Amino acid sequence: MTAIYKDDGFALHTDKYQINMTQVYWADNMHRRKAVFELFFRKLPFGNGYAVFAGLERVVHYLKEFRFTANDLAYLREEGYKEEYLDFLKTIRFTGTVRSMKEGELVFANEGIMRIEAPLAEGQLVETALLNIVNYQTLIATKASRMKQIVGEEVAMEFGTRRAQEMDAAIWGTRAAYLAGFDATSNVRAGKLFGIPTAGTHAHAMVQAYRDEYTAFRKYASEHVDCVFLVDTYDTLKSGVPNAIRVAKEFGDRIRFKGIRLDSGDLAYLSKTARKMLDEAGFPDAKIYASNDLDETTILNLKAQDAKIDVWGIGTKLITAYDQPALGAVYKLIAIEDEHGRMVDTIKISSNPEKVSTPGMKRVFRIVNRDNRMAEGDYIALEHEEPQREARLKMFHPVHTHIAKFVTDFEARELYETIFEDGTLTYELPKIEEIRAFVQANLDLLWDEYKRALNPVEYPVDLSQACWDKKMRMIRSVLAKVEANEEREGK
Ligand SMILES: Nc1ncnc2c1ncn2[C@@H]1O[C@H](COP(=O)(O)OP(=O)(O)OP(=O)(O)O)[C@@H](O)[C@H]1O
Ligand SMILES: O=P(O)(O)OC[C@H]1O[C@H](OP(=O)(O)OP(=O)(O)O)[C@H](O)[C@@H]1O
Ligand SMILES: O=C(O)c1cccnc1
């Protein structure tokens, strides 16, 4: 790489305004004030009924290693930052406390996924990277989960690396897809880094290189025991499938003829006809793989057409989150220490009531009905509240408050774990297989109405009465100040 400075850290993986704001805090001696930030999104992606949280592992690595290197500081010096400020940046490490949902948790709009309590300077500087990581990984995990819900018991393989937005996206995207339910990836480096099962067939290039399918399949079979032949280079039914069958017969027990891959044309018609040909030739166990711009809509349609596809190879539409390429997670200041050392809550008002932030330190609980083991909804309470101790919980819609219900026999599962305590990592990162199992267990708690791909029912995310009252009090107090200001200005 022809970098001017060695790329040896991630602290500069931030927006310049974070460094500029931090300079202001530092110059004003505000930088050590305790601040609390919350990371959340306001709208679920893809019209899905839930999102799958991913990104915590990388966030942990990032915060653990957070420091400005000598190269970072040299570059900032060249950018014109003052020497005294650079001396301060040089000493910065992440010393905060992080409370977060676990990777693989199902998460909904307007609930804090992660809460960062840290000296203001640190909390501010890490915003961009945290959003960068969580936004992308959660987006892809959600897309993958949505696709896997449609794929069902069949196999979903991640094929997206070639179309991903560069290398990081391919690697962390395939990890997100796997933890959310995909079964394997074609990316070998992801296999090495995360222990994800890898798998693959072959491309048209190999058939073209040998110029005929029969020779190409034979050569492949001579070198590999597990064989899936790509059959659409010339003519799927007239040439590809017959050549695959011919080679499978010739090699007999010397190979495991796992199947064929279709990569163009009418996948419903071709798969049904190919299935018949394989069965008649005595290969009922050979699987039919399909790829070619697949997404959940196409897969659902193919299933409706009774396509005989066993393995779905999915690339572009998954790894680029093609129909919605960004999750709008934000990172908002919810409380800050004042000049007297007291924590004061902050609120951001918007003309859209759904966008008004919920002030203060809170915890998120999943309310699970003990009788049927299904989730009743999520419940956001103030830090000190203990909903699990209540016999009867009122759950009401935070905007349309007349929509309410009471739950009695319930378990209130707190969704936050402590990840860092005063800068020390206290959380043991789970293995990826554990995260996968966790996603499945979480999905089992949701009624199908929340999980369907089209027009799912909105899952309740409610505020406790105390939390709601506090929000309303703060809205009234801010609006009163705005009015007083207007009067002063004589408007
Ligand atoms: N039976 C089907 N019903 C609905 N969609 C299908 C069906 N068969 C294939 N598709 C989808 O239709 C699209 C066909 O795209 P396109 O016309 O680009 O492919 P192609 O011409 O078959 O192959 P190539 O990608 O080599 O150009 C793909 O997204 C594919 O997944
Ligand atoms: O379609 P995706 O969901 O992205 O799946 C991955 C695609 O990558 C390969 O195609 P390749 O790059 O060789 O191009 P082509 O098949 O589109 O010509 C493969 O044959 C799939 O078609
Ligand atoms: O193994 C395959 O078939 C594969 C891998 C990546 C992209 N397309 C197909």
Locate 365 and state its tokens: 């609980």
Q: How confident is the model at residue 307 (pLDDT cuts 50, 70, 90)?
A: very high
Ligand 3 proximal residues by C-beta, below 6 Å: 159, 186, 200-201, 261, 291, 313, 315
Q: What is the pLDDT of residue 349?
A: 85
430 CB under 6 A from ligand 1? Answer: no
Locate 188 and state its tokens: 């070998």
CA distance linking residue 184 with residue 175, whole number of Å: 10
How far does residue 270's CA lie from ligand 1's centre (Å)?
11
CA distance linking residue 55 with residue 61, whole number of Å: 10
Mean pLDDT of 339-350: 91
Kindly report the three-state secondary structure assignment for every residue of 345-404: ECCCCCCCHHHCCCCCCEEEEEEEECCCCCEEEEEEEECCCCHHHCCCEEEECCCCCCCE
Residue 491 has pLDDT above 80, yes or no: no
Ligand nearest to the CA of 315: 2
Class of domain 149-320: alpha beta
202 CB under 6 A from ligand 2? Answer: no
Q: What is the pTM of this model?
A: 0.97
> For residue 211, which phi and psi values (nearest 5 degrees)?
70, -20
CA distance linking residue 355 with residue 276, whole number of Å: 55
How much of the chain, in percent, has pLDDT values that exceed 70? 99
pLDDT digits (tens, 9 = 90+) for 178-198: 999 999 999 999 999 999 999
Q: How confident is the model at residue 2 (pLDDT cuts 50, 70, 90)?
A: low
**Are 274 and 236 a contacting pair, CB within 8 Å?**
yes
Q: What is the pLDDT of residue 1?
A: 58
CA–centroid distance for 173 within its chain = 8
Pocket-testing residue among 292, 297, 317, ligand 2, by greatest number of atoms within 8 A of Cβ: 292
pLDDT digits (tens, 9 = 90+) for 112-165: 999 999 999 999 999 999 999 999 999 999 999 999 999 999 999 999 999 999
Radius of gyration (Cα) for the chain, nearest Å? 27
267 CB under 6 A from ligand 1? Answer: yes
Q: How confident is the model at residue 368 (pLDDT cuts 50, 70, 90)?
A: very high
Q: What is the pLDDT of residue 352?
A: 77
How far does residue 295's CA lie from ligand 3's centre (Å)?
15
How far are the Cα atoms of 46, 255, 448 from residue 444, in angstroms, in the given order? 21, 39, 9
Q: What is the pLDDT of residue 345?
A: 94
CA distance linking residue 289 with residue 154, whole number of Å: 10
Residue 213 has pLDDT above 70, yes or no: yes
How far does residue 292's CA lie from ligand 2's centre (Å)?
6
- The full set of domain ranges for the chain reads 16-141+325-480, 149-320
203 CB under 6 A from ligand 2? Answer: yes
pLDDT digits (tens, 9 = 90+) for 220-235: 999 999 999 999 999 9
CA distance linking residue 267 with residue 290, whole number of Å: 7
Q: How confident is the model at residue 351 (pLDDT cuts 50, 70, 90)?
A: confident
CA distance linking residue 434 with residue 351, whole number of Å: 42
Closest ligand 2 atom to 230 CA: 20
CA distance linking residue 458 with residue 375, whole number of Å: 13
- CA atoms within 13 Å, Cβ hemisphere of 65: 14
User: Inter-axis angle of helices 127-151 and 296-304, to 10 degrees?
Assistant: 0
CA distance linking residue 65 with residue 94, whole number of Å: 8
Tell me the average pLDDT of the chain.
96
How far does residue 264's CA lie from ligand 1's centre (Å)?
6
Domain 16-141+325-480: CATH architecture, name and number where available: Alpha-Beta Barrel (3.20)
- Please state whether beta strands 97-100 and 417-421 pair in parallel, antiparallel, or not at all (unpaired): antiparallel
- Please state whether beta strands 256-262 and 330-337 pair in parallel, antiparallel, or not at all (unpaired): unpaired
SS3 426: coil
Q: What is the ipTM of this complex?
A: 0.96
